[in-house]
Structure 1
Amino acid sequence: MQADMKALHKMFMSRNVTYQHSHGRPMSCPATAQLLSNTLYHRRFFPFYTFNICAGLDEEGRGAVYTYDAIGSYERTGYSCQGSGKDLMQPVLDNQLKAASPLVLPPRNSVTELPLEQAVDLVKDAFVSAGERDIYTGDNVEILIITKDGIKREELELKRD
Structure 2
Amino acid sequence: MSRWSPYDLNGGTCIAIGGEGYCIVAASTRLSTGFSILTADKSMILEVNDKCLIASAGFDGDRSQLHKVLTFRSENYEHFHKKPMSCPAMAQMLGNTLYYKRFFPYYTFNLCAGLDDQGRGCVYTYDAIGSHERVGYSCQGSGKDLVQPVLDNQLKAPSILELPPKVAVTSLSQAEAIETVKIAFSAASERDIYTGDAVEIFILTPEHGVQKEILPLRRD
Answer whether TM exceeds 0.5 for this pair: yes
Confirm or deny that 1:63 pairs with 2:121. yes
2:91 aligns with 33
Cα distance change of structure 1 residues 59 and 46 upon mapping to structure 2, 3 Å threshold: same
1:70 alignment partner AA: A
Confirm or deny that 1:46 pairs with 2:117. no
Larger radius of gyration: 1
Q: Separation in 2 of the partners of 1:106 and 1:40?
A: 31
* Cα displacement (A) at 1:68: 0.3
Residues 82-139 of structure 1, C-alpha deviations (whole Å, 9 max, x = no match): 1111100000000111258889999865654111111000000000000111110121
2:64 aligns with 6
Q: Separation in 1 of the partners of 2:157 and 2:134?
A: 16
2:71 alignment partner, SS class: helix
Q: Separation in 1 of the partners of 2:159 and 2:115?
A: 26
1:155 alignment partner AA: I
1:152 alignment partner AA: Q
* Structure with greater helix share of residues: 1
Confirm or deny that 1:136 pairs with 2:194. yes
- Gaps in structure 2 of 5+ consecutive residues: 1-58
2:172 alignment partner, SS class: coil
2:142 aligns with 84
Confirm or deny that 1:117 pairs with 2:117. no
Q: Separation in 1 of the partners of 2:163 and 2:98?
A: 38
Length-normalised TM-score, structure 1: 0.92
1:12 alignment partner AA: L
1:144 alignment partner AA: F
Q: Separation in 1 of the partners of 2:206 and 2:127?
A: 28
* Cα displacement (A) at 1:148: 0.6
* Structure with greater strand share of residues: 2
Confirm or deny that 1:152 pairs with 2:211. yes
Superposed CA RMSD: 2.1
Q: Which portions of structure 1, spanning 4 or more consecutive aligned residues, are displaced by more than 6 angstroms? A: 100-107
Q: Separation in 2 of the partners of 1:157 and 1:96?
A: 22
Does structure 2 retain, via aligned residues, the 8 Å contact 1:98–1:110?
no
Length-normalised TM-score, structure 2: 0.68
1:72 aligns with 130
Does structure 2 retain, via aligned residues, the 8 Å contact 1:131–1:137?
yes
Confirm or deny that 1:24 pairs with 2:82. yes
Cα distance change of structure 1 residues 99 and 30 upon mapping to structure 2, 3 Å threshold: closer
Q: Separation in 2 of the partners of 1:74 and 1:105?
A: 20
